């Protein structure tokens, strides 16, 4: 029996593999676009950088938006002691307990002349709107990390399984085959692990970059090689 090989597949199987690999290749590009669209804009600059990853997973913990606005654009809107009081309140968590006795009167006196209902800026007559800007951005929540992690691990391992399986039938040096088939799985694990590490230690953001680049690169090589062998061989042989 001839061993299954990408150059001697029956036509239906070859089409099946080709369809799967082409769609997967497109999925990889889409995943790249999606990362640029979501994480890429996290730091306000176009393009994906380590900072984007830090903001997405670790957050921007230097302070709340309320605090940075009160020290910046909104500084002239209230006297210092009022601003300090608001900043203090935000740093202590922005609880509703102080809203009625202390915070709401400040809003009414200094802020809601502009921050009113119907304006394009947040309406500070409502506690929820002020609370939102008083919160420190802690990045990805545990709930969202758990959700995205398990979807990635289950879903992507299947993609790598089939891509690797098909590539396993290619004419390619055995040693490189082993490396290329193992690499995406290793980088997938590193990638997911790095999200959790970055959530707590922003220095690990570079590992996220490495994980994504590593697994896409290895899959790309496997996909292109497999497609090439399934279709190029045909032409080469027919020409001879
Ligand atoms: C004279 C009108 C005016 C007053 C008074 C005013 N603001 Fe603003 N505020 C604005 C405008 C306009 C923006 C939008 C600025 C921008 O996006 O560049 C803004 C934005 C903000 C933001 C950012 C909101 C977001 O989600 O982007 C915060 C926080 C804020 N103001 C807090 C305050 C506080 C607290 C007070 C009262 C001490 C106050 N502002 C008083 C006009 C005002």
83 Cα nearest atom in ligand 1: 38
Residue among 121, 130, 137 whose CB has most ligand 1 atoms within 8 A, to mutate = 121
Report pLDDT for 1: 44
Joined together, the tokens standing for residue 67 give 């605090």
Using the predicted structure, report yes or no on whether residue 2 has a pLDDT greater than 90. no
Give CA–CA dist 177/156, Å, rounded: 19
Joined together, the tokens standing for residue 232 give 């190029």
Instruction: Please say whether the beta carbons of 9 and 230 come within 8 A.
Output: yes
83-126 per-position pLDDT tens digit: 999 999 998 888 999 999 999 999 999 999 999 999 899 999 99
Give CA–CA dist 40/38, Å, rounded: 6
**Which positions ≥6 away from 5 have C-beta within 8 Å?**
169, 170, 171
Report pLDDT for 183: 93
- Percent of the chain scored above 70 by pLDDT? 95
Using alpha carbons, select from 95, 130, 128 the residue that is nearest to residue 111. Answer: 130
Cα-to-centroid distance, 115 and ligand 1 (Å): 7
**Beta carbons within 10 angstroms of residue 78's beta carbon:** 18
Pocket lining for ligand 1, CB < 6 angstroms: 65-66, 69-70, 73-74, 77-78, 86, 110-111, 113-115, 121-122, 133
Give CA–CA dist 213/210, Å, rounded: 5
73 Cα nearest atom in ligand 1: 15
Cα-to-centroid distance, 141 and ligand 1 (Å): 27
Q: Contacts by 121-127 with C-beta closer than 8 Å and gap 24+?
A: 127/96, 127/99
Instruction: Please say whether the beta carbons of 66 and 72 come within 8 A.
Output: no
CA dihedral 225, 230, 232, 237 (to 10 degrees): 140
Using the predicted structure, report yes or no on whether residue 161 has a pLDDT greater than 90. yes
Give CA–CA dist 171/182, Å, rounded: 17
- What's the rounded mean pLDDT across residues 155-178? 93
128: confidence class by pLDDT, cuts 50, 70, 90: very high
Give CA–CA dist 168/159, Å, rounded: 14
Residue among 65, 77, 130 whose CB has most ligand 1 atoms within 8 A, to mutate = 77
């Amino acid at each position: 029996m001839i061993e299954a090989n990408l150059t001697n597949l029956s036509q239906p199987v070859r089409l099946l593999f080709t369809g799967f690999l082409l769609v997967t290749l497109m999925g990889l590009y889409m995943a790249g676009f999606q990362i640029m669209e979501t994480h890429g804009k996290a730091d306000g600059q176009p393009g994906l950088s380590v900072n984007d990853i830090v903001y997405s997973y670790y957050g921007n913990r230097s302070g709340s938006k309320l605090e940075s606005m009160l020290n910046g654009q909104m500084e002239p809107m209230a006297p210092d002691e009022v601003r300090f009081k608001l900043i203090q309140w935000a740093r202590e968590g922005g609880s509703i307990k102080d809203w009625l006795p202390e915070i709401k009167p400040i809003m009414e006196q200094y802020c809601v002349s502009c921050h009113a209902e119907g304006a394009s800026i947040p309406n500070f007559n409502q506690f929820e709107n002020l609370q939102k800007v008083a919160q420190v951005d802690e990045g990805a929540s545990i709930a969202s990390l758990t959700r995205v992690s398990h979807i990635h691990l289950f879903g992507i391992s299947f993609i790598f399984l089939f891509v690797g399986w098909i590539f396993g039938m290619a004419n390619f040096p055995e040693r490189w085959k082993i490396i290329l088939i193992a690499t995406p799985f290793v980088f997938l694990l590193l990638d997911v692990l790095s999200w959790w590490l970055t959530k707590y230690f922003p220095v690990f953001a570079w590992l996220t970059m490495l994980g994504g680049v590593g697994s896409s690169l290895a899959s790309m090589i496997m996909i292109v090689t497999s497609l090439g062998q399934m279709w190029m061989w045909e032409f080469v042989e027919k020409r001879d």
